[in-house]
Amino acid sequence: MTATHSFSTLIPDTILDAVESTGLWSDSRIYSLNSYENRVYQIGIEDGSPVIAKFYRPDRWSKAQILEEHSLLLKLQVAGVPIVAPLMFEGKSLFCHKGIYFCLSPRLIGQHPEADNLDQLYQLGELIGQVHKEMSAVPFSERISVSPLMQMDQATSQILSHNLLPEKLKPLYKKQINKLRGMSEASIKAYWPTQLRPVHGDSHRSNLMLHEGQFHLLDFDDCQNGIAVQDLWLHITQTENPQQQLSEIIEGYETYMPFDIRELGLIDVFKSVRVICYAAWLQNRWHDPAFVKAFPWFDTENYWLNHLNELKNCELEWENMSR
C-alpha cells in the first residue's frame, strides 16, 4: 500500500529526533510496543532508564483534549493513585515534532491481570474506585461525553456507507443492528444516570499492569465523561454466571466510591456498542498499513459473517440476562 497515512513520516530518525528535542539523549535503541491507534515505542536513554514515547494519531484528539488528559494524570500522580503520568520537561508534558504530538513517560514493567482471578478482580475494583474518586471533582470540559446510541448510529452509518461489508450481508446487518439499538434504547431509558462523571473509558486488561505487587491503570487516551460501569464491565469474562465476578469488582470499588446497582442494566448496551464500534474502527483505519498487516482478515466475507454472529450473541446474552 503506497497511500500516505497518519504515521508515514514517523521513521526511526524522526522518532529519535523527537525524543532528543526534550533534552534527553537516546542510545538509538527503539522497541515498538503493541499499539495501533497511536504509535508507542520504548526508547533507550544514555545513562538512564528507558522511556516510553507515545505519538498521538493526528486529527484524533485536539491539543486541548490531550492536555486535559495530562493534567488529570499529573493530579492523580500527586494524589498517590497508581497510574503512569507523562514526564515533564521545563514545565511541559506535550510536545510536537513534524506535526505529530507526542509525550514521554516512565517505563513500567509488570504483568496484566489474570482474567478469572477473584482476588485480583477485587483489587481492580479498588483501583478503579480510587481513580473515580479522585477524578470526580470536576467533569471534563474538553473530552467527549459518552453517548451509546449516537456511537452506535455513527458506527453503523460508516460501515454501511463503505463496500467492505458485502452487499448481500447488509440487510442482515441492518436487521441485527435495529434489534440491538431498540434494546439499548429501552435500557438507557430505564437505567441511565442523571449525571455523568469522568471515567477512564477503556480499562480493559491490557491497560492494567501489576507492578511490584500493585495494579496500575495505564493509557487514559479515551478518558471521557461517562458512567462507573463503563470501567467495570470489561473485566467480566464469565457469560453464564458473571455474578461472582461482579460481586468482587463492586465490593472492591465500593471501598472508595458508592456504586449505583442500576448501572448493571447498561452492561449489555456497552457490550453491543463495543462490538459495533470495533468493526467501524478497523474500517476507519484501513488506510493505515499497520492495520492491513495486523488484521489481514478484516476485508474478507468470513470476518463479516463472524461479526454478524457476534452481534447475534450480544442479543442472546442480553435476553438470557433479562430472564
Task: For the chain, give every domain's residue range.
Answer: 12-106, 118-322
- Grid look-up 514526564 returns 87
Instruction: Kindly give, in sequence order, each residue whose CB lies less than 8 Å from that of residue 268, ignoring residues fewer than 6 positions away.
Output: 183, 184, 187, 314, 317, 318, 321
* pLDDT range class, residue 1, cuts 50, 70, 90: very low
* pLDDT range class, residue 238, cuts 50, 70, 90: confident
pLDDT for residue 171 is more than 80: yes
Over residues 54-96, the pLDDT tens digits come to 999 999 999 999 999 999 999 999 999 999 999 999 999 999 9
SS (H, E, C) the chain: CCCCCCCCCCCHHHHHHHHHCCCCCEEEEEEECCCCCCEEEEEEECCCCCEEEEECCCCCCCHHHHHHHHHHHHHHHHCCCCECCCCCECCECCEEECCEEEEEEECCCCECCCCCCHHHHHHHHHHHHHHHHHHCCCCCCCCCECCHHHHHHHHHHHHHCCCCCCHHHHHHHHHHHHHHHHHHHHHHHHHCCCCCEEECCCCCHHHEEEECCEEEECCCCCCEEECHHHHCHHHCCCCCCCHHHHHHHHHHHCCCCCCCHHHHHHHHHHHHHHHHHHHHHHHHCCCCHHHHHHCCCCCCHHHHHHHHHHHHHHHHHHHHHHC
Active-site option among 17, 116, 153, 219:
219
**Residue 219 marked as a ligand binder:** yes
Longest dimension (CA), the chain: 61
Find the angle CA(232)-CA(234)-CA(56) to the nearest 5 degrees.
100
Over residues 275-294, the pLDDT tens digits come to 999 999 999 999 898 899 99
Instruction: Establish whether 153 is a catalytic residue.
Output: no
Instruction: Establish whether 219 is a catalytic residue.
Output: yes
Q: Do 308 and 301 touch, CB atoms closer than 8 A?
A: no
Q: Can you give the pLDDT at residue 6?
A: 79
* pLDDT range class, residue 29, cuts 50, 70, 90: very high
CA nearest neighbour of 229 among 209, 257, 207: 257
For 133, how many CA atoms within 13 A lie in the half-sphere containing its CB?
A: 17
**Rounded to an integer, what distance in angstroms lies between the CA atom of residue 18 and that of residue 113?**
33
Residue 243 neighbours by CB distance under 10 Å: 10
User: Mean pLDDT across the chain, nearest whole number?
Assistant: 94
**Rounded to an integer, what distance in angstroms lies between the CA atom of residue 159 and that of residue 307?**
12
* pLDDT range class, residue 321, cuts 50, 70, 90: low
Q: Can you give the pLDDT at residue 243?
A: 86
Residue 292 neighbours by CB distance under 10 Å: 15
Q: Does domain 118-322 have CATH number 3.90.1200.10?
A: yes
* pLDDT range class, residue 3, cuts 50, 70, 90: very low
Over residues 92-145, the pLDDT tens digits come to 999 999 999 999 999 999 999 998 899 999 999 999 999 999 999 889 999 999
Q: Record the cell numbers describing residue 254, joined without a space.
A: 465500593
Instruction: Kindly give, in sequence order, each residue whose CB lies less than 8 Å from that of residue 259, ignoring residues fewer than 6 positions away.
Output: 228, 250, 253
Q: Can you give the pLDDT at residue 4?
A: 55
Active-site option among 202, 222, 231, 288:
202
* pLDDT range class, residue 318, cuts 50, 70, 90: confident
Identical topology for domains 12-106 and 118-322: no
**Residue 231 marked as a ligand binder:** no
| CATH entry, 12-106, from 3.60.130.10, 3.40.50.970, 3.40.50.300, 3.30.200.70 | 3.30.200.70
- Grid look-up 542510545 returns 27
* pLDDT over 90, % of the chain: 86
